[in-house]
Amino acid sequence: MKNFEELFETALKFHGHRCPAMPMGLKAGLAAMKVLGVERAQDKELSVIAETGNDHAAGCFLDGIMTATGCTYGKSNIEKRYYNKMAFTLIDNKTGRSVRVSLKPDFFEKALASPFVQQRKAGVPPQDIDPEIANPLIEKAIGLKDEMFLDIGEVKKVDVKKRKGLFAARRCARCGELTFVNKLRLTEDGNQVCIPCSGYDG
């Protein structure tokens, strides 16, 4: 994906609807990568610590970040802290260099007053919002220069935990489903069972 247009189309298909917050996240992810001088993660070269929550705009923002950086829940190189902030930290796992990026408060306050967000607050699903409302805001988001809407912190060093992939699995003695061995639990009668069959949460 060598240009923004291709990446945006991929993000749009992944995200599922047109909205202003997703391209903001996409651009924020790209800005963080530029600061660290890194390429999109193919495996676990990068990690994201997201400070977003479960609310609408935060989720859209995060989908853009994931598309830009290649950090996904499937690859286990993204962590969500539920601070309900439009912010994240990108970490280069090879060097331990990291940068925190957030939306500028003034910019975010104005964005929350936009006609798109007012429609969302009224209960209109994002895909049903009139394109005459959504499209100008999306185009504006795409055209924003980083310094207009992002606070980009200083590059800092962090400790990076190296994790090896786990490939050993056994069948649960109760349900029979194959479970990776680090999440099997030993019962009183000596059987190894998965967490749902064990009756414990973790």
State residue 1's pLDDT score.
Answer: 44
Neighbours of 48 (CB within 10 A): 23
Of the candidates 49, 18, 56, 3, the one whose C-alpha atom is nearest the C-alpha of residue 141 is 18
Instruction: Spell out the SS3 assignment of 157-180.
Output: ECCCCCCCCCCCEEECCCCCCEEE
Of the candidates 42, 32, 36, 35, the one whose C-alpha atom is nearest the C-alpha of residue 70 is 42
Predicted confidence (pLDDT) per residue in 75-96, tens digit:
999 999 999 999 999 999 999 9
Distance CA 201, CA 183 (A): 11
State residue 2's pLDDT score.
Answer: 52
Which distant-in-sequence residues (6+ apart) come within 8 Å of 93 by Cβ? 44, 45, 46, 47, 77, 160
State residue 199's pLDDT score.
Answer: 86
Distance CA 163, CA 161 (A): 6
Give buried/exposed letters for 148-162 (b at 16+ CB in 10 A, else e): ebbebeeeeeeeeee
Q: What is the pTM of this model?
A: 0.88
State residue 166's pLDDT score.
Answer: 83
Which distant-in-sequence residues (6+ apart) come within 8 Å of 144 by Cβ? 24, 27
Which distant-in-sequence residues (6+ apart) come within 8 Å of 25 by Cβ? 60, 61, 62, 63, 64, 65, 67, 68
Low-confidence ranges of the chain (pLDDT < 50): 1
Which domains does the chain carry? 4-157 (3.30.1330.130), 169-198 (3.30.60)
